[in-house]
Amino acid sequence: MWVAIPLDIIGALVVMRLAAFGAMKENVAKQFAIFSNKHTWSLTALYVVTFGSFIGFSMALPLAITVIFGFQHIPDAAGVMQHTLKNPNAPSALTYAWIGPFVGAAVRPIGGWISDKVGGSIVTQIISAVMVVASVAVGYVMMQAYASSTPEQYFPMFMGLFIVLFAASGVGNGSTFRSVGFIFDRQQAGPVLGWTSAVAAYGAFIAPVLIGQQIKAGTPQFAFYGFAVFYALCLVVNWWFYLRAGSEIKNP
């Protein structure tokens, strides 16, 4: 997938550029100007943190509930953990999986409203820090549950932390959207929003695949530790471009 997805994106851009003619060619050239702007790439990373995480976790949460908490995790006679025995006390994914996306969508306007008051990049910085901590915590709880014969005892903490992730990504979605309108002029803001949203939407594919792979490997926590590292890197990117003293664009 790490080969196919970039090739899909590059192929779509090449076709878009080559197929344009007449007045369309001029419009496409204006849209392609965003790729020479370094802030397009920094905002793309930040939008993956927020919108990408929101849509990715929306797809991954039912999987995690089903696989982590739907089975008892018991070692066999050789001491090898087995994950095939149904858990009679398992929480229902259908009952709980909608809560996270609902919270994330509900708080998105709050992120935009707060960003209008204090600045989009400050809000993004705070929620990125929250997501680093919450991701590490979710990974640790998943590790504990995946080694337990009674994983349901960890479910309230797991669900609470996941709701924190959804709330932070929802607020950050609003703040990053607000930052695009502040950092780019009116001509480039639209294409940048389209580009960043399109790239971030791949979170719906990547997050469940990564989490599923790590669960299969017996190390579900590694997926979330990896997310935490990415969030931490983007926190530094956000500070470097938009918050540090002497940054080219201060937001605020």
Radius of gyration of the chain (CA): 20
**pLDDT tens digits, residue range 212-234?**
999 989 999 999 999 999 999 99
Per-residue pLDDT at 136 exceeds 90: yes
- Taking only the tens place, the pLDDT of each residue in 32-67 is 899 999 999 999 999 999 999 999 999 999 999 999
- CA 209 from centroid of its chain's CA atoms: 13
Alpha-carbon span 240 to 233, nearest angstrom: 11
Separation of alpha carbons 5 and 94, rounded Å: 30
- Contact in structure between 251 and 115 (CB atoms under 8 Å): no
Cα–Cα dist 56/125, whole Å: 20
- Give pTM, 2 decimals: 0.90
Question: Phi first, then psi: what are they for 83, rounded to 5°?
Answer: -130, 40
Q: Taking every pair of C-alpha atoms in the chain, what is the biggest distance, in angstroms?
A: 72
Structural domains for the chain: 1-35 (no CATH), 37-242 (1.20.1250.20)
Residue type at position 202: Y
Residue 181 has pLDDT above 80, yes or no: yes
Q: Torsions phi, psi of 71, nearest 5?
A: -130, 155
What is the spatial distance between Cα 71 and Cα 83, in angstroms, rounded to a whole number? 6
C-alpha 68/C-alpha 72 separation (Å) is 8
pLDDT at residue 158, rounded to an integer: 97
Catalogue the E-assigned strands of the chain: 71-75, 81-86
Cβ proximity of 9 and 142 under 8 Å:
no
